[in-house]
Structure 1
Amino acid sequence: MRIDIITVLPELMKSPFEASILQRAITKGHVEVHFHNLRDYASNAYKTVDDYQFGGGAGMVMMIEPIDKCISDLKSERDYDEIIYMTPDGETLKQGIANELSLKDNIIILCGHYKGVDQRVRDMFVTREISIGDYVLSGGELGAAVLCDAVIRLIPGVLNDETSALTDSFQDNLLAPPVYTRPAEYKGAKVPDILLSGNFAKIEKWREDQAFERTKLRRPDLLDE
């Protein structure tokens, strides 16, 4: 997989990809992540990428021309499965979207800023709009990092145990069950006996029941889906 991220703050974007699972995925060659500074595509000496909005109103708007130049430059080198715009009014990121995107070959992620991008960018270039929640950030960079983490960890070979991702919360519209590790007793708090029994059929049934009960208590909306 190749991910191209268009941003006015590439230095903000890079740190999450220089550690942990994301770094390992890049080092092993499972994914390529490239950062493109939108200011490199500005048409004036001041590297301007935003302007006042027509009709008045507070806040600057990202201009269409630099974005067009950047996307066109990238598309001249390869085909892209998705051009994603990170925006608060996009579809809310869920596990199913991450699953779907993990199967793609080439993705562009455009990080919004200020009051967003010229609507013509969304109409002409963007194929998908994604939000990480019902709140507003200073820009789309952190949302893009969240999206990349959710997608990249699903690529075969990225996780040491590939079955781990299959038992994560939301994969089957259930929250994950409680988990325990050593010691079996700590300050009077004990691990459930069933987990120490060695009866894996009963353990699996216990986990399924716990996942259902936890979901029913904490996220009953997931059961409706």
Structure 2
Amino acid sequence: MIFDVLTLFPEMFDIFSYSIIKRARDNNLIRLNIYNIRDFTTNKHRKVDDYPYGGGAGMVMQAEPIYNTVDYVKNIYGYKPYTILMSPKGEVFNQNISKELSNINHVMLICGHYEGIDERIMPLIDREISIGDFVLTGGEIACMAIIDSVSRLIPGVLSSNESFEDESFYSGLLEYPQYTRPEEFRGMKVPDVLLSGHHENIRKWRRYESLKITYKRRPDLLKKIDLSNEDMKMLEDIKNRKKEK
């Protein structure tokens, strides 16, 4: 999969020179190309912003440098990649969107900055995405989160499907508790079921714990997934136990 990133701060993406994403890049599972928007300005000062028409605080990114950068990318490939704008006005990113994007072979992400971007770039945009209802200095951190999330779903990036299929949000639920050695630490013991070697009992325990923690912390998620008959019984037990306390 190819990620093309348009940004004013390419050095921020050095974070992808480490860990899982670095390994995926080394193995040619993903390609990450970073383009500095300032390199595509037409003025000697590499200016990319100006005062907003109508007045107001802050500066607005100009449309021309972004169009020039996109044209450069289009000339490389012969087409415009699926283009995403990091924007607080966009749909809120979640695991389902991550899955959708992982099935697109080539994605271009544009990172905004300052008070916004000239609205005339919108003909270039296929989708606007936000990572939450809060304010960031620019789109770079949001862009990194999306690249990281999507990359994990690309076959071969992680060691096995279990590495992401059991994680929080992949199945629509929060993840069950995890334990490792030693069996007892400062008086806290690993649940006996995880030491039993009984795979079906372990599966049921993990599902029950996922349902329990989701019910407690993010009950809204339960309305968005299809619950099996087994899930419904577990959830009923969880609710009854809560009432008894």
Name the TM tier (shorter chain).
over 0.9
CA RMSD of aligned residues (A): 1.0
Give the letter aligned to residue 97 of structure 2.
I
Instruction: Return the alpha-carbon distance in structure 1 between the equivalents of residues 75 and 195 of structure 2.
Output: 58
Residue 150 of structure 2 corresponds to which residue in structure 1? Answer: 151
Larger-Rg structure: 2
Deviations 1:48-107 (A, max 9, x none): 111111111111111111111111221223234520111112111101111111111111
Counterpart mapping for 1:170-185 below 5 A: 170-185=169-184
Alpha-carbon distance, 1:196 to partner: 0.8
Residue 26 of structure 2 corresponds to which residue in structure 1? Answer: 27
Counterpart mapping for 1:83-162 below 5 A: 83-122=83-122, 124-162=123-161
Residue 240 of structure 2 corresponds to which residue in structure 1? Answer: none
Do 2:74 and 2:81's aligned partners in 1 also have CA atoms closer than 8 Å? no
Residue 56 of structure 2 corresponds to which residue in structure 1? Answer: 57
Residue 188 of structure 1 corresponds to which residue in structure 2? Answer: 187
Instruction: Return the alpha-carbon distance in structure 1 between the equivalents of residues 190 and 80 of structure 2.
Output: 49
| More helix, by proportion | 2
- Relative contact order (alpha carbons < 8 A, sep ≥ 6): 1 or 2 greater? 1
Do 1:80 and 1:107's aligned partners in 2 also have CA atoms closer than 8 Å? no
Residue 167 of structure 2 corresponds to which residue in structure 1? Answer: 168
Instruction: Return the alpha-carbon distance in structure 1 between the equivalents of residues 210 and 74 of structure 2.
Output: 44
Residue 211 of structure 2 corresponds to which residue in structure 1? Answer: 212
Deviations 1:128-156 (A, max 9, x none): 11111111111111111111100111111
Give the letter aligned to residue 219 of structure 2.
P
Give the letter aligned to residue 47 of structure 2.
T
Q: Structure 1: which 5+ runs fail to align? A: none
Q: Structure 2: which 5+ runs fail to align? A: 225-245
Do 1:114 and 1:138's aligned partners in 2 also have CA atoms closer than 8 Å? yes
Residue 16 of structure 1 corresponds to which residue in structure 2? Answer: 15
Residue 2 of structure 1 corresponds to which residue in structure 2? Answer: 2
Structure 1 moving runs of 4+ over 4 Å: none
* Percent pairwise identity: 44
Instruction: Return the alpha-carbon distance in structure 2 between the equivalents of residues 206 and 158 of structure 1.
Output: 28
Deviations 1:8-41 (A, max 9, x none): 111122x211100111110010000011010111
Give the letter aligned to residue 140 of structure 1.
G
CA pair 106-38 structure 1, distance change in 2 beyond 3 A = same
Do 2:21 and 2:151's aligned partners in 1 also have CA atoms closer than 8 Å? yes
Do 2:70 and 2:80's aligned partners in 1 also have CA atoms closer than 8 Å? no
